Amino acid sequence: MSEHIPVLLNEVLSILNPSDGKTYFDGTFGGGGYSRAILEKANCSVVACDRDELVMPFAEKLHSEFPSRFSFTHARFSEIKKILAQQNIQKLDGIVLDLGLSNFQLEDESRGFSFNSKGNVDMTMGLCNETAMDIIHRCSEEQLANIIYTFSEERFSRRIAKSIKKNLRNIKTAEDLANAVRACVRRTGRIDQATKTFQALRIFVNRELEELKFILNESLELLNSGGKIIVVSFHSLEDRIVKSFFRECGYQKDAFQVITKKPIAPSEEEIEINPKSRSAKLRCLLRL
Ligand SMILES: C[S@@+](CC[C@H](N)C(=O)[O-])C[C@H]1O[C@@H](n2cnc3c(N)ncnc32)[C@H](O)[C@@H]1O
């Protein structure tokens, strides 16, 4: 498995500005790239979580290097209050969220995140109630079309839902699912026709947008004065939620300030080294 290259790491560090004695929350631990860099930058503490058990070995390694400054909980970031309460932490000086999938997840065939995968139609990141296979079986054609449209803005959602339902018996792997999409939509450019459908099912299965909205709401009262929320998002549905939430907060001029009037994007150099960073957008809100 190739390693996960943290996206916009220098930018996250320079905005967060980790300082001695402060406490930070990394809600999307992944390969631990952000947590490690924060811990190395200052004599601070990092409380991390990830919904995917796959990251446990990375978390254990980091804990063995920083036993008194790093803790990890296998949980969803929407459980932030519970995670902090368990450790008797009342306030934070920063929250970082690096949304989306890690390379480890993308390359894990058994998860079926990638549309050439021979793995199951699963798409769960961990701590989910249903798989993508459950969804395509449980939902009616109309419900499926609505999910695909709502979570990817795919304009052929109805046609795709029809094709998936028609081919349901033959859909065993992620590749079969992709083929059901390819059978009804013509490819026009470099992007595979199944991309949006996969994005939509993944977002729905993992309740990604609800998770994001929930933690944003929870985070406001958890931040110390001078504390920041930094979110790196990878598609417009997520970015829109972050942008409008931060803008609303920014109206309370004596309480919050939006640090990033425009989102920060990766440099051309970073995109060249790590093409997966291409669509990343970083936004930051400061508690005054
Ligand atoms: C892009 S990776 C993070 C990479 C990390 N910043 C690094 O530098 O290695 C995203 C991670 O967030 C996790 N994740 C996504 N949504 C989550 C949620 N709601 N709660 C907890 N973890 C989540 C995924 O399981 C994945 O491991």
Which of 153, 173, 205 terminates a domain? The answer is 205
* Separation of CA 186 and ligand 1 centre (Å): 33
Task: Collect the ranges in the chain with pLDDT lower than 50.
Answer: none
pLDDT at position 116? 86
171-211 tens-digit pLDDT: 999 999 999 999 999 998 989 999 999 999 999 999 999 99
Residues 26 and 88 in one domain: yes
Residues 33 and 175 in one domain: no
What distances in angstroms separate CA 233 from CA 11, 96, 110, 156, 264, one per listed residue?
A: 14, 11, 25, 25, 11
Q: Could you list the residue range(s) of the whole structural domain that residue 280 is in?
A: 9-104+208-287
From CA 218, how far away is CA 82, in angstroms rounded? 11
Strand 281-287 and strand 256-258: pairing?
Answer: antiparallel
Residue at 1 is within a domain: no
Residue at 62 is within a domain: yes
Which ligand 1 atom sits closest to the C-alpha of 28?
Answer: 12
Residues 29 and 69 in one domain: yes
Backbone angles phi, psi at 49, to 5 degrees: -145, 160
pLDDT at position 270? 97
Residue at 2 is within a domain: no
Which of 149, 170, 205 terminates a domain? The answer is 205
pLDDT at position 121? 96
Which ligand 1 atom sits closest to the C-alpha of 97?
Answer: 6
Residue at 198 is within a domain: yes
Residues 55 and 191 in one domain: no
Residues 215 and 163 in one domain: no
Question: How does DSSP classify residue 255?
Answer: T
Give the side-chain half-sphere CA count within 13 A for 79. 16
Q: Which residues line ligand 1 (CB under 6 A)?
A: 4, 6, 27-28, 30-34, 49-52, 55, 76-77, 98, 100-102, 125, 211
Residue at 109 is within a domain: no
Number of domains in the chain: 2
What pTM was computed for the model?
Answer: 0.97
Residues 100 and 216 in one domain: yes
Residues 182 and 216 in one domain: no
pLDDT at position 1? 60
- Please report, for the domain that includes residue 61, its CATH number: 3.40.50.150
